[in-house]
Structure 1
Amino acid sequence: MTGMLSAFPKIAWAKEPVLVVSSICDLAIIMPIVSPYTKYAAMINQATPFNYPMAVPGNGKDPMCPATPRTLRGPSLEWLKNL
Structure 2
Amino acid sequence: MAGIKAGKYDEYLVGYQVEADATDLSETEVYLGSDTAQNSFAWLVPLSEGRAVVGMAPRRRANGQMEGFIERLNPMADR
TM-score for both structures, normalised by structure 1: 0.20
Larger relative contact order (CA 8 Å, sep ≥ 6): 2
Larger Rg: 1
- Greater share of residues in strand: 2
- Greater share of residues in helix: 1
